[in-house]
Chain A
Amino acid sequence: MIKNFFLIAFRNIFKHKVFSFINIFGLAIGIAASLLIFQYVRFELSYDRFEANSDRIYRIQLDRYNQGKLSTQWAAGAAGIGPIVKDAFPEVESLARLRPTNGIVAYKNLEFREEKLFFANDNFLPMFSYSAIEGSIHGALADVNTAVLTATAAKKYFGNENPLDKIITVNKAASYKITAVVPDPPANTHLKFSILLSFASFVAQRGPEVNTTINWDGFFAYILLRPGTNPKLLEKKIAALVQTKWSDDMKKNGWNMVYHLQALPDIHLTSHYMHEAETNGDGKAVYFLLVIAMFIIGIAWINYINLATARSIHRAKETGIRKTLGSLRWQLIVQFLFESLLINTLAVILAFLLILVCLPAFNAVAGKSLSLALLATGGFWTNLAILFIFGTILSGFYPAFVLSSFKPISVLKGKLAATTHGALLRQSLVVIQFMASVLLMVGTFTVYRQLHFMQHQDLGVKTAQTLVVKGPRVLDSTYDNQLSNFRTEVLRIPGVSEVAASTQVPGEKVDWNAGGIRLVGADETESRQYRVIGIDYDFLDAYGLKLLAGRNFSHEMSTDTAAVLFNEAAIEQLGYRTPQEALDKRIEFWGKQYTIVGVVTNHHQESLREAYDAHIFRLIPDAEGYYSIKLSRNSDTWTNTIASVKQQYKAFFPNNPFDYFFLDDHIAEQYKADQQFGQTFSLFAGLAIFVSCLGLLGLASFVTSQRTKEIGIRKVMGAPVPSILVLLTRDFLRPILLAFLLATPITWYVLGKWLENYAFRIPLTPWLFLGPIALILVVALLTITTQTLGAATANPVKSLRTD
């Protein structure tokens, strides 16, 4: 029996090559796309789930409030909260504390700038399930001036030497003894480090208040809860503790802090606060992609259902004969399911080939690094099995049900010829397919418009032709002079027009968050938080920041060490409506008084996802964060210019690696994730529409062939070709137009929600919808016309003779 099913299924596949191709190719695209997306989603969801304790580790996240209003949200919160919580609550088994830093790490004559340095306490490695390759993780970070390297860092500094007990220096200022080497943190952890320095060293350098203060933010605190502890309950207990300990001060000064416990595995996709250990993933984008995967595979399944039921008339005779010869209905259902199984099997094989061929292209577009190693993962096969079984049953069951339901008498007598069996269902499914296509197509357009908008918006600062050199970390008392001389020498290099030193450059979060700032004489409750950028005298000119009132810092004004510039958002926060009002006002800034001497325009310090921030510019002429060097327009000379800058840098700041980047690249980096999301989105949207059109092609071909006789008769009666085309096309356009109508409000809502992620965004206009819809319509019409044109122009004598 099975052999017979197999035979007939195979022969049907070969006999109806076009339909088989549409089904198999469409399903293969759906399966391949879904598998790739699932694999990516699986990776994103796997973050921080590998630690043995991952379900018991929580990060203490801090929300600060000012006058009842949320002011800042910290991933790395107050320094003292970890020890305070650990001491107060026995349900906290262990506490890991980390303080991010960076610096120039040196061993003998090897020097590298390390961006992934952390001070970490001794509990960190055991809590996060690290094992030691060399040494032991227990006690490795207990003492002052000890350090732990990852395997990669060990190789980088020590080659094949054993690093244990060797001494590295950080910024040539402090020495650390290597006590252990651990494996590199896996790709799917949010907490990646290259070198860990003992937290005890940080305490020794900065004083014991690090263990108690709640006024200094930027410290990660992870707690391991004892089994059975309810984190929600603990969160409440922490809130109560905070109220007990600091309520007087909080009431008096109008501030508040609320601590939340973030489950470790949730951090990567849901946490986007100040001082994250790395830029976390976008949970929404992950789920968006998952929906797209569902769309594509769903559209392919719909094609199968549509084509199988549309063609059921051709299979009806077989059904009739088989029933006459004694087949039972369930046997027929099994037979047609078997056929669906065979089609799905072939599709899976083709999907494999597609994955093999397209994996590099997918990685390039999506910015991922999936490798063929994914074939070796259990998850891949589970996903494949689910898609295969679900697809076979879902796509095969309805057609099998329809096909097996035919009454043998009717079909064998040819009474079923003009059936409209399932036509309504087919049309409904076409509506659903095209609704999905509209959503994806309009989505693609919107994502790209938003990206284009963000990348071409005036940032309020001049960023072009800016070479940014990272400031030195290994410094001595002559730094002021060295910087001044460096500046003079660099300005002499041909092609350099300006040099400015600052603590930050545009295109990144401002690290320096200062609270407690208020007008002199104002009540402490008036205090607000501002983001502070230290700049030199040349920064405003170099970056083209416009003064709205007052003046820039000036060499002539010796009092400018106590002067500040505010931006528009900052004076607004201070309570002034116009820049002029704010001029010459004096503010309290951490125990000192400063005068507002100028007000500058707002600029986009970060991506356009973020709103304008309240910035204060402080005069720090020897700021050591970055040196911004403005180059001439002629990019041919840049290589030489950079070489000359490097020469000067090495001369003035020996023991410091020369690291630089172009500011435009730095700014574009912020949009990399958006851009990759856009590319991935459009790739899969394109595939979804392609698979929809494949289905439409099949249906159009089928319906046209079914109406050959009708077309012949109409032509004999004198119908012109265009009227036949209209006749044939009209039936297809109806569901597509209905899909447009139904999809528009849904799409409007979904995209509106998506755009809310961006503080600066494009408006949703009808044009964003009309363009893509017109495009889909044209593609659909072309698809239908390829089939109908042949039928409409055929000689009617032929079609009538064949009937």
Chain B
Amino acid sequence: MIKITDLQKTYRTEEVETIALNKLTFEVKEGEFVSVMGPSGCGKSTLLNILGLLDDPDGGSFIFNGIEVAHFNERKRADLRKRNIGFVFQSFNLIDELTVFENVELPLIYLGVKGPERKQRVETVLDKMQIMHRRNHYPQQLSGGQQQRVAVARAVVNNPKLILADEPTGNLDSSNGNEVMTLLTDLNEQGTTIIMVTHSEHDSRYSHRIIRMLDGQAVTENILI
């Protein structure tokens, strides 16, 4: 599903040049659940941003579903992103001014899904995430675990092929964290590919494979199953 080859990304300020990704090469197959680990500054987040089509690589190849997307323009990237990729963030990133229902509805709006179908799909996913009773609440009225469930609901509401999770349990206590990991595992079992950046060895054990990064390169790979 994803094949990256010699991927490069360098950040430049006036004085400093930081190589975030240094000829990174790996592949993720459809239906896989992959964890990316490594110390701070190793390039994990940069990788996730490029995989999520939020950022451009400086060099190398990025093939998504058989299409070279490394040099897509903004419009094409946004279009590919909204149809295929869901995001789950450490800090949930829900919009404070929208209710649970409206937050989850947002990707469908950008996809142009009609109102009645939107309602039905959002309700289905909220029910699945067991957060339906909170549909009219605002994010700040929910616990961290509930917020992350809403975030996961939002990530999956458009049935993406790929979910990118950036330390999804980082802001949660262990029980809520486990709950979210179980949700992700369930999704993966239903066929969704998941790439998760994490610092947590515990969480990484939910995945099939761990890519360990250092200085913008993949240094080791552990296959867990």
Docked complex Cα distance between A12 and B75 (Å): 28
The stretch that binds A, out of B23-31, B93-101, B119-127, is B93-101
Closest to B138 in A: A11
In the complex, are the beta carbons of B106 and A409 less than 8 A apart?
Answer: no
Contacts of B102 in A (CB 8 A): 4, 7
In the complex, are the beta carbons of B78 and A326 less than 8 A apart?
Answer: yes
Could you say which of B52, B95, B107, B154 has the most chain A C-beta atoms within 10 Å of its C-beta? B95
A417 CB, min distance to chain B CBs, angstroms: 12
Write out, one digit per residue, whether chain A residues 111-124 have a CB within 8 A of any chain B CB (1) or not (0).
00000000000000
Closest to A15 in B: B97
> Residue B199 at the A interface, CB < 8 A?
no
The stretch that binds B, out of A63-71, A317-325, A461-469, A731-739, is A317-325
In the complex, are the beta carbons of A409 and B54 less than 8 A apart?
Answer: yes
Interface size range of chain A in the complex? 20 to 34
In the complex, are the beta carbons of A322 and B106 less than 8 A apart?
Answer: yes
> Residue A353 at the B interface, CB < 8 A?
no
Given contacts A4-B102, A409-B49, A409-B55, contact A326 B107 (CB under 8 A): yes
Within 8 Å by CB of A413, from B45, B75, B96, B154, lies B45
Given contacts A324-B54, A325-B82, A326-B79, contact A414 B91 (CB under 8 A): yes
B114 CB, min distance to chain A CBs, angstroms: 12
In the complex, are the beta carbons of B54 and A327 less than 8 A apart?
Answer: no
Given contacts A317-B93, A325-B82, contact A4 B54 (CB under 8 A): no
Given contacts A324-B52, A325-B82, A326-B79, contact A8 B97 (CB under 8 A): yes
Docked complex Cα distance between A327 and B95 (Å): 14
In the complex, are the beta carbons of A11 and B97 less than 8 A apart?
Answer: yes
In the complex, are the beta carbons of B93 and A320 less than 8 A apart?
Answer: yes
A320 CB, min distance to chain B CBs, angstroms: 7
Write out, one digit per residue, whether chain A residues 297-321 have a CB within 8 A of any chain B CB (1) or not (0).
0000000000000000000011011
Contacts of A327 in B (CB 8 A): 78, 110
In the complex, are the beta carbons of B81 and A324 less than 8 A apart?
Answer: yes
Docked complex Cα distance between A413 and B106 (Å): 20
> Residue A1 at the B interface, CB < 8 A?
yes
Docked complex Cα distance between A320 and B106 (Å): 13
> Residue B62 at the A interface, CB < 8 A?
no
Given contacts A4-B106, A409-B49, contact A328 B78 (CB under 8 A): yes
> Residue B74 at the A interface, CB < 8 A?
yes
In the complex, are the beta carbons of A329 and B74 less than 8 A apart?
Answer: yes
Within 8 Å by CB of B106, from A15, A325, A328, A408, lies A325
Contacts of A412 in B (CB 8 A): 89, 91, 93
Contacts of A326 in B (CB 8 A): 78-79, 81-83, 107, 110-111
> Residue B33 at the A interface, CB < 8 A?
no
> Residue B142 at the A interface, CB < 8 A?
no
Given contacts A324-B54, A324-B81, A324-B87, contact A4 B97 (CB under 8 A): no
Docked complex Cα distance between A578 and B55 (Å): 91
In the complex, are the beta carbons of A8 and B82 less than 8 A apart?
Answer: no
Closest to A328 in B: B78
Closest to B89 in A: A412
A182 CB, min distance to chain B CBs, angstroms: 64
Contacts of A329 in B (CB 8 A): 74
Write out, one digit per residue, whether chain A residues 594-609 have a CB within 8 A of any chain B CB (1) or not (0).
0000000000000000
Main secondary structure of the interface of A (DSSP, over half): helix
Contacts of B94 in A (CB 8 A): 321
Closest to B98 in A: A8
A117 CB, min distance to chain B CBs, angstroms: 71
Given contacts A323-B54, A414-B91, contact A328 B97 (CB under 8 A): no
Contacts of B75 in A (CB 8 A): 328
> Residue B109 at the A interface, CB < 8 A?
yes
B50-84 contacts to A (CB < 8 Å): 52, 54-55, 74-75, 78-79, 81-83
Contacts of B74 in A (CB 8 A): 328-329
Closest to A4 in B: B109
A313 CB, min distance to chain B CBs, angstroms: 14
B30 CB, min distance to chain A CBs, angstroms: 21
Write out, one digit per residue, whether chain A residues 173-215 have a CB within 8 A of any chain B CB (1) or not (0).
0000000000000000000000000000000000000000000
In the complex, are the beta carbons of B45 and A325 less than 8 A apart?
Answer: no
Docked complex Cα distance between A326 and B82 (Å): 5
In the complex, are the beta carbons of B55 and A321 less than 8 A apart?
Answer: no
Docked complex Cα distance between A566 and B206 (Å): 113
Within 8 Å by CB of A321, from B83, B95, B111, lies B95
Closest to B45 in A: A413
Docked complex Cα distance between A4 and B154 (Å): 16
Contacts of B45 in A (CB 8 A): 409, 413
Closest to B115 in A: A3
Closest to B112 in A: A1
In the complex, are the beta carbons of A7 and B98 less than 8 A apart?
Answer: yes
Contacts of A331 in B (CB 8 A): 110
Docked complex Cα distance between A331 and B112 (Å): 13
Contacts of B97 in A (CB 8 A): 7-8, 11-12, 15, 318
Contacts of B106 in A (CB 8 A): 4, 321-322, 325
Contacts of B82 in A (CB 8 A): 325-326
Contacts of B91 in A (CB 8 A): 412, 414
Docked complex Cα distance between A320 and B87 (Å): 12
Contacts of A324 in B (CB 8 A): 52, 54, 81, 87, 93
Contacts of A317 in B (CB 8 A): 93, 95
Contacts of A4 in B (CB 8 A): 98, 102, 105-106, 109
B32-54 contacts to A (CB < 8 Å): 45, 49, 52, 54
In the complex, are the beta carbons of B49 and A325 less than 8 A apart?
Answer: no
Contacts of B95 in A (CB 8 A): 8, 317-318, 321-322
Docked complex Cα distance between A327 and B74 (Å): 10
Docked complex Cα distance between A132 and B188 (Å): 92
Write out, one digit per residue, whether chain A residues 2-38 have a CB within 8 A of any chain B CB (1) or not (0).
0010011001100100000000000000000000000
Closest to A409 in B: B49
In the complex, are the beta carbons of A325 and B107 less than 8 A apart?
Answer: yes
Could you say which of A317, A318, A325, A412 has the most chain B C-beta atoms within 10 Å of its C-beta? A325
Closest to A327 in B: B110
B116 CB, min distance to chain A CBs, angstroms: 14
Closest to B157 in A: A325
B1 CB, min distance to chain A CBs, angstroms: 19
Contacts of B109 in A (CB 8 A): 1, 4
Closest to A1 in B: B109
Closest to A325 in B: B107
Closest to B103 in A: A321
Closest to B80 in A: A326
B20 CB, min distance to chain A CBs, angstroms: 11
Closest to A322 in B: B106
Closest to A411 in B: B93
Closest to A331 in B: B110
Docked complex Cα distance between A323 and B78 (Å): 8
B74 CB, min distance to chain A CBs, angstroms: 7
Contacts of A7 in B (CB 8 A): 97-98, 102
Docked complex Cα distance between A510 and B148 (Å): 88
Contacts of A407 in B (CB 8 A): 54-55
A1 CB, min distance to chain B CBs, angstroms: 6
Contacts of B110 in A (CB 8 A): 322, 325-327, 331
**29 A-B contacts (beta carbon < 8 Å):** A4-B98, A4-B105, A7-B102, A8-B95, A8-B97, A8-B98, A11-B97, A11-B98, A317-B93, A317-B95, A320-B93, A322-B106, A322-B110, A324-B52, A324-B54, A324-B87, A324-B93, A325-B82, A326-B79, A326-B81, A327-B110, A328-B74, A328-B75, A329-B74, A331-B110, A408-B54, A409-B49, A409-B55, A414-B91
Q: A323-B54, A324-B93, A407-B54 are in contact. List 15 more A-B contacts (CB 8 A).
A: A15-B97, A322-B95, A322-B106, A324-B81, A324-B87, A325-B87, A325-B106, A325-B110, A326-B79, A326-B107, A326-B110, A328-B78, A408-B54, A409-B45, A412-B91
Name B's A-contacting residues (CB within 8 A): 45, 49, 52, 54-55, 74-75, 78-79, 81-83, 87, 89, 91, 93-98, 102, 105-107, 109-111, 154
5 shortest interchain CB distances as A-B pairs? A326-B82, A11-B97, A326-B110, A325-B107, A409-B49
